């Protein structure tokens, strides 16, 4: 007889009252259709202001009768999806499950794919099967455009590479879950963290689906900030460019100085023009301010990181550790 594999289903939820039940029913169906597999649910309520937590608790009560394991963690406020995923990952790392899946509550990540992911993992023996969107249908044009640009820059200039269209939907073996749980950084960018921890990853493609109910929580501004944060988290390239630029400028001005001295000695003094001087002052003033701003981005992150604040604050949970 084959061993029964237990899979922790990690679901970050923020104001998903309308979706959670449908999500749970559909995922249960998937579970029932899979042989030799049992799911254990970890719902993370990311400080929802609607009935999300009540819905989860209702499912918990029902689950007790059906011998399904549902765990939940509820935050004291909204900490963001990154924090919610981290809480779920930590809970899974400390659980008895063999594997873990991170999946959205809005059914944009079809739970049926978990079956395919398990199949691929079995076949190839890989450590992780991750989903990649092949279309961005039903998504604002501007968002697709920004996302494309982001992946290009990220892959070219940072320490890690991320597949275009990679989403947070993935199946992982315990070792990978533990590796991610052991990364306590407070400014988290999971797509980068997944790539950084390594492990053999297979990709599975899927078409974009519209969310079941409600709106995406992302605004264009929020996404842009997320992208810049993600880049800075994994790249020191901008700092290197800064250094190189400073070096080149210093060398250039030294050469210019030598040129001026020789010119004065050979041809005598001429009337200096103030326009070019002002231009140079303004130019370098601007460059220096921009450099300081960029340095500030890194220093600001160090400042936040050294405070050692927790990634999230738990208000209640049914996991006893």
Binding footprint of Mg ion on the chain (CB under 5 A): 106, 108, 211
CA–CA separation, 202 and 290 (whole Å): 41
Which of 7, 10, 13, 56 touches ligand UDP by CB under 6 A?
Answer: 13
Q: Quote the CA–CA distance of 121 and 118 in Å, as a whole number.
A: 5
Record the tokens describing residue 211, joined without a space: 């969310």
Joined together, the tokens standing for residue 108 give 């944009």
CB count in 10 Å sphere of residue 170? 24
Judged by CB under 6 A, the stretch of 80-88, 172-180, 229-237, 289-297 that binds ligand UDP is 80-88
Alpha helices in 158-236 (DSSP H): 174-181, 190-197, 220-234
Q: In the stretch 270-299, what mask flags binding to ligand UDP with x, by CB under 6 A?
A: ------------------------------
Judge whether 208 and 108 are in contact, CB under 8 Å.
yes
DSSP string, 107-123: SSS-TTHHHHHHHHHHH
Of the residues 9, 73, 84, 130, which one makes contact with ligand UDP according to CB under 6 A: 84
Alpha-carbon distance 26 to 43, whole Å? 15
| CB of 50 vs ligand UDP, minimal distance in Å | 11
Binding residue (CB under 6 A) for ligand UDP from 8, 10, 12, 69: 12
Pairing relation of β-strands 99-102 and 201-206? Answer: unpaired
Contact region with ligand UDP (CB under 6 A), list: 75-83, 158-166, 187-195, 287-295:
75-83
Look up residue 214 and give its DSSP letter. S
Give the footprint of ligand UDP on residues 92-151 (CB under 6 A).
104-106, 108
CB of 5 to Mg ion, least distance (A): 27
Given the complex with ligand UDP, which of 14 and 24 has the nearer CB atom?
Answer: 14
Binding mask 40-59 for ligand UDP (x = CB under 6 A): ------x-------------
Residue for token digits 């070219």?
A: 156
Select the span of 6-14, 25-33, 157-165, 180-188 touching ligand UDP (CB under 6 A): 6-14
Q: Decide if residue 230 touches ligand UDP (CB under 6 A).
A: no
Closer of 169 and 231 to ligand UDP (Cβ): 169
16 contributes a contact to ligand UDP by CB under 6 A: yes
80, 111, 165, 230: which one binds ligand UDP (CB under 6 A) = 80
Pairing outcome for strands 128-133 and 166-173 = antiparallel
Q: CA–CA separation, 114 vs 119, rounded Å?
A: 9
Q: Which is nearer to Mg ion, 178 or 217 (CB)?
A: 217
Residue whose beta carbon is closest to ligand UDP: 216
> Minimum CB separation from ligand UDP for residue 187, in Å?
15
Cα–Cα nearest to 27, from 36, 12, 38: 38
What separation, in Å, do the N-terminal and C-terminal C-alpha atoms of the chain show?
33
Binding residues (CB under 6 A) for ligand UDP: these are: 12-14, 16, 46, 78, 80-81, 84, 104-106, 108, 211, 216-218
């Amino acid at each position: 007889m084959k061993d029964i594999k237990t899979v922790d289903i990690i679901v970050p939820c923020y104001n998903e009252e309308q979706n959670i039940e449908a999500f749970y029913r559909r995922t249960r169906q998937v579970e029932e259709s899979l042989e030799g597999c049992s799911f254990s649910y970890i719902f993370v309520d990311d400080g929802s202001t609607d009935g999300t937590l009540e819905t989860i608790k209702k499912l918990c009560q029902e689950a007790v009768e059906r011998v399904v394991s549902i765990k939940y963690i509820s935050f004291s406020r909204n900490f963001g999806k990154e924090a919610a995923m981290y809480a779920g990952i930590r809970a899974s790392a400390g659980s008895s499950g063999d594997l873990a899946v991170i999946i959205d509550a809005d059914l944009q990540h079809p739970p049926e794919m978990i079956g395919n992911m398990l199949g691929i993992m079995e076949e190839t023996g890989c450590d992780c099967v991750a989903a990649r969107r092949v279309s961005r249908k039903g998504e604002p044009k501007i968002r697709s455009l920004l996302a494309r640009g982001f992946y290009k820059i990220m892959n070219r200039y940072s320490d890690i590479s991320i597949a275009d269209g990679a989403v947070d939907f993935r199946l992982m073996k315990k070792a990978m879950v533990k590796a991610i749980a052991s990364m306590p950084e407070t400014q988290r960018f999971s797509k980068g963290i997944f790539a950084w921890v390594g492990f053999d990853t297979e990709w599975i493609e899927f078409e974009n689906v519209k969310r079941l109910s409600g709106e995406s929580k992302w605004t264009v501004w929020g996404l842009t900030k997320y992208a810049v944060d993600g880049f800075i988290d994994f790249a020191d390239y901008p700092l290197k460019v800064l250094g190189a630029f400073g070096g080149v400028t210093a060398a250039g001005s030294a050469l210019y100085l030598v040129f001026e001295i020789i010119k004065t000695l050979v041809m005598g003094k001429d009337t200096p023009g103030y326009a070019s001087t002002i231009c140079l002052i303004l130019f370098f003033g601007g460059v220096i301010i921009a450099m300081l701003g960029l340095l500030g981005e890194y220093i600001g992150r160090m400042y936040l990181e050294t405070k050692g604040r927790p990634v999230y604050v738990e208000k209640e949970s049914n996991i006893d550790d």
